[in-house]
Amino acid sequence: MASVDLRSDTVTKPTPGMLKAMTEAPVGDDVFRDDPSVNAFEEKVADMFGKEAGLFVPSGVMSNQICLYQLTKPGDEVILDELAHIFNYEAGSAALISGVQLRPLKGNRGMLDANQVEAAIRTTNDWDPHTRVVAVENTTNKGGGAVYPLKVLQEIGDVARRNGLFYHLDGARIWNALAANRYKAKEVGTLFDTISVCFSKGLGAPVGSMMLAEKSVIRDARRTRKMLGGGMRQVGLLAAAADYALEHHFSLLEADFYRAKKLAEVISESGSFRVKSESVESNILLFDTEKPANKVLAELNSAGIWMSAFGPYTIRAVFHHQITDADFSKVCAWFESYEPGPKP
């Protein structure tokens, strides 16, 4: 039996239906804007979030970084949570590409609130950096899949607007928040100046993210994408895969949420691990271990279950649509029968 891979929701493989959609997609040279599949898909997703335009890009990192590049000047400051992907996992590219400094704040499970954002805005003294952008991540990755309440997103947006700041959403997993019925895409989308969404996480496309914004911002962003080497040619093949994922896999995200919640209960009841947060809000589950996480991961591996370390004593499990009922039962059974052995 193949291993149960819960390391990430990025590990899914294209399905036969997705591959068929890819081979049937009409394509053209997207650098010349000749690819009908890309053009239609950009328009569709932009419309879904109430934005004027979209730009299909290879990855979530590129999408976030193009957004920051469009919004800032070198030396500007970007406020974000200390757990943000942009701060932790984008190889320092905000400094390299945009020349900005990041101002990480300690939030709750990767989420900021309006008061702390307001308190972090710099004055206009000559010696202060210019605070230019507030960037939030929803759902949070390192924060364990937490979902921002709409009210908090609105309140941070109000602070941003009152203080002349741009507001960016790293929505790599916004789909999981939408699937959990927390709000509609347009309700979130219209709050932000720039949005990045990914099709290659829980939705299960092999590649692809999209930046969403006003037309004028996207026009300049196309140039930035080219500068970064992200101009692609007959990329309608990938847009078709992403579109297929949106059409056919979005409805499956609810099951990922259910399973993450269920496994959290099983893990809590086992008594050997501590689920990090009392509420599981999407497809990501973090739990603490007594033994070093790597030891527990090795035990899991030998039972054919893969998860990842998210700290020396923390493990992350992420659900996706290619986990079967049998896989899920196997994981639950492993925790139900877990014998921790002597205390480390």
Ligand X SMILES: Cc1ncc(COP(=O)(O)O)c(C=O)c1O
Residues of this chain that interact with ligand X (CB under 6 A) are: 59-61, 64, 85, 137, 141, 170, 172, 198, 200, 209
CA distance 281 to 144: 8
Residue nearest to ligand X (CB): 60
- Among residues 121 and 238, whose Cβ is nearest to ligand X? 238
- Among residues 41 and 273, whose Cβ is nearest to ligand X? 41
- Among residues 270 and 322, whose Cβ is nearest to ligand X? 322
CA distance 6 to 287: 13
Q: Where are the alpha helices (DSSP H) in the chain?
A: 16-24, 36-48, 60-71, 85-88, 93, 114-120, 150-162, 174-179, 185-189, 215-227, 236-249, 253-270, 293-302, 325-336
- Positive or negative, the CA dihedral 251, 252, 256, 258 is positive
Which residue do the tokens 């006003």 mark? 214
- Among residues 85 and 132, whose Cβ is nearest to ligand X? 85
Paired sense of beta strands 131-137 and 209-213, if any: unpaired
- Among residues 157 and 230, whose Cβ is nearest to ligand X? 230
Asked whether the bond before 23 is cis by omega within 30 degrees of 0, the reply is no
Helix (H, G, I), strand (E, B) or coil at 159: helix
Q: How far is the CB of 201 from ligand X (least distance, A)?
A: 6
Q: How far is the CB of 92 from ligand X (least distance, A)?
A: 14
Q: How far is the CB of 91 from ligand X (least distance, A)?
A: 10
Q: How far is the CB of 194 from ligand X (least distance, A)?
A: 13
Strands, sheet with 166-171, edge to edge from the N-terminal-most edge strand: 53-57, 209-213, 194-198, 166-171, 131-137, 77-81, 101-105
- Among residues 201 and 338, whose Cβ is nearest to ligand X? 201
Q: How far is the CB of 71 from ligand X (least distance, A)?
A: 16
